[in-house]
Amino acid sequence: MTINNLEDYFNQETGQQSPANLYEPIQYILTQGGKRIRPRLVMIGTELFGGNTEQAFHAAAAFEMLHNFTLIHDDIMDDAPIRRGKPTVYRKWNSNIAILSGDALSAMALREILKTPCDPETAVRLSQLMAETGVGICEGQQLDLDFESRNEVSISEYIEMIRLKTAVLLTACLKAGAIIAGANEHNLAAVDEFGTNLGLAFQLKDDLLDVYADDTVFGKVNGGDIKVNKKTYLYLKALEDANPEQKKILDHYFSSTDFDFDEKYNAIKKVYEELAIRQKTEQAIEAYVQKGLNALQTMDVDAQRKAELSTLITDMSNRNK
């Protein structure tokens, strides 16, 4: 099977399961499609080191499950109404059902990765990788929540938070494929470096799209991060570069979530534009892309196999949703 079969597979795993209020939300989020970046990365990691992608199918499905578990819970914590252009799980059902469905989905992900046809040592490595990834994501999410109540957050602290919350999962997907293919320790270290920089570029692009995307393409409401006072790279960079009057505006609107949303969004966006925050964020994204490409060049694989990863990191940094 390939990742093109994922939706059918997820339907098979969740359809007609009981209790319906547990499995229907899982089926709902798993079969919405999305970018399927994580399973693609598992397959790419496998191909990169000459492995059999059919052997990697269950790992690809597992990491997509893990990713969607985090989305279900993140949307509750972020009070997000829309995901992929549709109502979020907790909005369509309720928070209690969403929490429980997310819990079940995380357990299903571990069960799924254990279906990988491989030797016991590889199965243990994959399971350990998934467990460590899940813990890292939770650490990153907690830091994200902590930042909401802190007056000062440095850009370096923010980068570490998104490394945990976003980059560790993208890295793990590539690494899972590489482990299945039998990559050596040198190449696994290079995969770590590539994946980390891919993830950082990916999240900074998400921060940028939250403010500047075409919301009919992005599938989310623009300004969601601003609405809930999330200290994204754009906001922290603006604080760093702002003059006293601009800082006063930023502090004022980020002091509460009770402002009229359009007023708040437009005021913050105006400061961003005065400080060229969009351009500065794009420069930071490009710097992480270049670090990722440098790591890619150290891998002991032929240029043709590297080309797909090179294209992927560039495409992800240039995406519009």
- CATH code assigned at 118: 1.10.600.10
Q: Are 296 and 309 in contact (CB under 8 A)?
A: yes
**E-strand stretches of 44-195:** 82-83, 86-87
- Axis-axis angle for helices 6-14, 57-78 (nearest 10): 70
Q: What is the pLDDT of residue 216?
A: 58
Asked if the structure places residue 16 within a domain, the reply is: yes
283 Cβ contact partners less than 8 Å away, ≥ 6 residues apart: none
Q: What is the pLDDT of residue 215?
A: 67
Q: Are 15 and 27 in contact (CB under 8 A)?
A: yes
Beta bridge partners of 86: 83
Asked if the structure places residue 1 within a domain, the reply is: no
Separation of alpha carbons 118 and 177, rounded Å: 12
Mean pLDDT by 10 residues, the chain (321 residues): 85 94 97 88 95 97 97 92 92 98 98 97 98 97 91 96 97 98 97 96 94 71 88 97 98 94 96 98 96 95 88 82 71
Instruction: Please name which of 112, 192, 200, 194 lies closest in space to residue 156, comparing C-alpha atoms.
Output: 200
**pTM of the entire predicted model:** 0.91
Asked if the structure places residue 69 within a domain, the reply is: yes
Whether cis (ω within 30° of 0) applies to the bond prior to 19 is yes
Q: What is the pLDDT of residue 220?
A: 64
Q: What is the pLDDT of residue 189?
A: 98
Residue 280, Cβ density class (10 Å: 0-12 exposed, 13-18 middle, ≥19 buried):
middle
Tokens (6 digits) for 318: 């240039």
Domain count of the fold of the chain:
1
Domain limits at 105? 7-317
Task: Tell me, rounded to whole angstroms, the distance of Cα 136 from its chain centroid.
Answer: 12
Asked if the structure places residue 2 within a domain, the reply is: no
Q: What is the pLDDT of residue 80?
A: 86
Q: What is the pLDDT of residue 319?
A: 83
